[in-house]
Amino acid sequence: MYNQMTKRKVAIPYMVRIGILLLLLISAAYLMIGVGSIYINPVDTALYFAGGNQGAAFIVENYRLPRIIIAMLAGSGFAVSGVILQSVIRNPLASPDIVGITKGAGLFAVIIIIFIPSVTTSILPVFSFIGAAFICILLLIISNKIGAESSTIALVGIALGAICQAITEYFLVKYPLQANDSLVWLAGSIWGKSWEEVYGLFPWIIVLLPVSFLLYKQLDILSFDETVSTGLGLKVKQTRYLLLIISVALAGACVAAIGSIGFIGLIAPHIAKRIFGSSHLYLIPGSAIIGALLLVVADGIGRGLNPPVEIPAGIITAIIGVPYFLFLIRHGKKRS
């Protein structure tokens, strides 16, 4: 009886918080539909959805809605990828961009864009996944060889990311005529994204996010020391590799769809932990919603600051993320 009452006390606040976050996400998405070089006020947007304003139909259906949806999908994908990495590596500073995974995905995607410009949107995530997996494997090999603690794995990832960035810039300089699309893509921009990109990213997100959620118990156990995790009956090595594959696939697919958006995978899990605590039953869906909200707002700010010129969403997230990253480092030093 006491356990049932305790569960009810925990479940009700959790559902309320999830509901508030969903309401914020829907409200932000609704408002951001109107932001851009051609402003659509909220009343006209409401009339469009009610079927009464067909004047805004072309802009909303072909430009604004695809951007909003792909921002939601990619934001949630980056955020959940960050949650998994932080738990598997047991490092609060781990995220797909910090440990170099998005840089590896970006490098392979740029190579494909330059040398196979006719590649389809549905195939590009496969090459991004290969690049992200390659960096992830290198990260694990180097970390194991030097006997790195979990607190230093981020530094190894930063070094690998810098190498990938240097190689990427080499290809952009060597092939300037083919690099125009890559430059916008590397900045992390949702500009010009259409339903084709939505359809390319949607299957990855709709499969991998539920799988991540189903593994929440394993993620909780992995947060403990390896000896404790083994004692609880978890096959640590196999579980860690499975979760890393999911994290890499999420990051690779999102990078292929919209480019290298930084800091979503770092910020969203930390905000979610402050709201929901450390249980992955709450942390995974909470992080997904927060990541989607951050990217939707960042894209809207980039569109609305100086229309018709657009600032890539990746620049907006970096402006927010760099100070927050420094805050986390400083906070971590104080605690140690």
Confidence label for 147 from pLDDT (cuts 50, 70 and 90): low
3-state secondary structure the chain: CHHHHHHHHHHHHHHHHHHHHHHHHHHHHHHHHCCCCCCCCHHHHHHHHCCCCCCCHHHHHHHHHHHHHHHHHHHHHHHHHHHHHHHHHCCCCCCCCCCCHHHHHHHHHHHHHHHCCCCCCCCHHHHHHHHHHHHHHHHHHHHHHCCCCHHHHHHHHHHHHHHHHHHHHHHHHHCCCCCHHHHHHHCCCCCCCCHHHHHHHHHHHHHHHHHHHHCHHHHHHHCCCHHHHHHCCCCHHHHHHHHHHHHHHHHHHHHHHHCCCCCHHHHHHHHHHHHHCCCHHHHHHHHHHHHHHHHHHHHHHHHHCECCECCCHHHHHHHHHHHHHHHHHHHHHHHC
Asked, for residue 12, whether it belongs to a domain, the answer is: no
The pLDDT tens digits for 30-74 are: 999 988 888 888 888 888 777 766 667 778 888 899 999 999 999
Asked, for residue 11, whether it belongs to a domain, the answer is: no
Portion of the chain with pLDDT greater than 70, in percent: 87
Asked, for residue 6, whether it belongs to a domain, the answer is: no
Asked, for residue 18, whether it belongs to a domain, the answer is: no
Contact 142, 156 (CB under 8 A): yes
**Is the pLDDT score of 179 beyond 60?**
yes
Encode 115-147: b = buried (16+ Cβ within 10 Å), e = exposed. Answer: eeeeeebeebbebbbbbbbbbbebbbeebeeee
Confidence label for 336 from pLDDT (cuts 50, 70 and 90): very low
For the residues 154-161, what does the mean pLDDT come to? 82
Residues 6+ apart with CB under 8 A from 20: none
Q: CATH number for the domain including 129?
A: 1.10.3470.10
Asked, for residue 266, whether it belongs to a domain, the answer is: yes
Question: Given CA atoms 52, 54, 60, 61 in this order, what sign does their dihedral have?
Answer: positive
**Is the pLDDT score of 197 beyond 70?**
yes
More confident residue, 93 or 80: 80
Asked, for residue 13, whether it belongs to a domain, the answer is: no
Rounded to whole angstroms, the Cα distance separating 209 from 212 reads: 5
Asked, for residue 259, whether it belongs to a domain, the answer is: yes
Average pLDDT over the chain, rounded to an integer: 82
Out of 8-12, 52-56, 108-112, give the one with best mean pLDDT: 108-112
Residue 318 lies in domain? 25-335
Confidence label for 207 from pLDDT (cuts 50, 70 and 90): very high
Asked, for residue 204, whether it belongs to a domain, the answer is: yes
Q: Into how many domains does the chain fold?
A: 1
**Is the pLDDT score of 148 beyond 50?**
yes
For the residues 75-84, what does the mean pLDDT come to? 95
Encode 62-71: b = buried (16+ Cβ within 10 Å), e = exposed. Answer: ebbebbbbbb
